[in-house]
């Protein structure tokens, strides 16, 4: 399967579904995940302010009948988790009923992140749901921004990992693959995607969406250097039998505006055979909107 046969998101025809919370750099709506469940689109994203105004302040879960006009249902604040910031959340419908919300949480006063969760019988009940730390990370590794799939053979996660062993270089990132029987206890299957020295993804590579499972092909975020942190662009990688390998023939997909960010893509297969994408994209004033396209 080549890039020509994959449905890929681009900025063309993009429609804003959640505008940035304010104008200017550091004001971002995005880091979203989405699922189509029983005919309803569920979208969850983090609301982010500039560093001086609190960073990732909350996570919102919303619903839509058409995938474009969303009605907020619940909001979770970082204070409830003792977190300094939030990053990518994931909402998953559970077998037999109920919902689980995974949250990427920053440890105050450090570069460490962990993955937490809330489980409840309904989306509305999530803020008061059962809380459980899913992946704590450790003193050497920050963990965040999971991509989670649940299928008939169990659960898969692609997890963004930031090494904390070198002060000032904690922005580096790789992706590891994990599996689970219940979505709470995970087994690490190893590193599957890293950046390529001298390339546009040299500083790191973070899986953001699974496009196809057989064979495995994914979208991922990458950036060339530390200065490009928060301004990642999107590439494609495929499984070669041992790990994910970047498609070197495909230029990174960018926004045409300001810092060029086009990141945290989420992919929702549609009954029509098309795919609806949600992406955090830079706009001319430096803020990031959450946009959608169908391909």
**Above 50 in pLDDT, residue 2?**
no
* pTM of the predicted model as reported, rounded to 2 decimal places: 0.96
Per residue in 146-156, pLDDT (tens digit) is: 999 998 889 99
**Above 60 in pLDDT, residue 1?**
no
**Above 60 in pLDDT, residue 42?**
yes
Closest C-alpha among 127, 247, 264 to residue 196: 247
Once rounded to an integer, what is the mean pLDDT over residues 142-163? 95
User: Residue 129: what pLDDT?
Assistant: 98
User: Residue 293: what pLDDT?
Assistant: 98
Once rounded to an integer, what is the mean pLDDT over residues 255-284? 98
Please give the residue that has the higher pLDDT: either 181 or 5. 181
Task: Compute the distance between CA of residue 13 and CA of residue 17 in angstroms, rounded to an integer.
Answer: 13
Per residue in 82-120, pLDDT (tens digit) is: 999 999 999 999 998 999 999 999 999 999 999 999 999
Which residues have C-beta within 8 Å of that of residue 48, sequence separation ≥ 6? 21, 26, 27, 28, 29, 30, 31, 55, 56, 57, 85, 86, 288
């Amino acid at each position: 399967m080549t890039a020509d046969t994959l449905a890929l998101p681009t900025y063309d025809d993009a429609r804003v579904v959640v505008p940035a919370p304010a104008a200017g750099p550091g004001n971002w709506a995005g880091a979203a995940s989405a699922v189509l469940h029983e005919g309803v689109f569920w979208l969850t994203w983090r609301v982010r302010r500039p560093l001086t105004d609190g960073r990732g302040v909350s996570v919102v879960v919303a619903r839509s009948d058409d995938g474009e006009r969303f009605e907020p249902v619940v909001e979770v604040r970082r204070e409830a988790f003792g977190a300094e910031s939030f990053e990518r959340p994931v909402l998953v419908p559970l077998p037999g009923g109920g919902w689980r919300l995974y949250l990427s949480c920053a440890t105050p006063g450090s570069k460490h992140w962990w993955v937490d969760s809330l489980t409840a019988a309904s989306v509305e009940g999530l803020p008061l749901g059962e809380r459980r730390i899913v992946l704590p990370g450790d003193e050497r590794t920050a963990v965040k921004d999971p991509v989670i799939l649940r299928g008939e053979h169990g659960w898969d996660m692609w997890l963004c990992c930031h090494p904390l062993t070198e002060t000032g270089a904690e922005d580096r990132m790789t992706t590891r693959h994990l599996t689970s029987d219940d979505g709470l206890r995970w087994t690490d299957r190893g590193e599957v995607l890293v950046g390529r020295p001298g390339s546009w993804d040299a500083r790191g590579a973070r899986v953001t969406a699974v496009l196809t499972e057989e064979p495995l092909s994914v979208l991922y975020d990458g950036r060339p250097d530390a200065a490009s942190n928060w301004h990642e662009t999107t590439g494609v990688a495929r499984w070669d039998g041992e790990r994910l390998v970047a498609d070197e023939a495909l230029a990174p997909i960018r926004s045409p505006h300001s810092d060029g960010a086009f990141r945290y893509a989420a992919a929702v297969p549609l009954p029509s055979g098309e795919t609806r994408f949600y992406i955090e994209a830079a706009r001319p004033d430096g803020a990031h909107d959450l946009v959608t396209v169908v391909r």
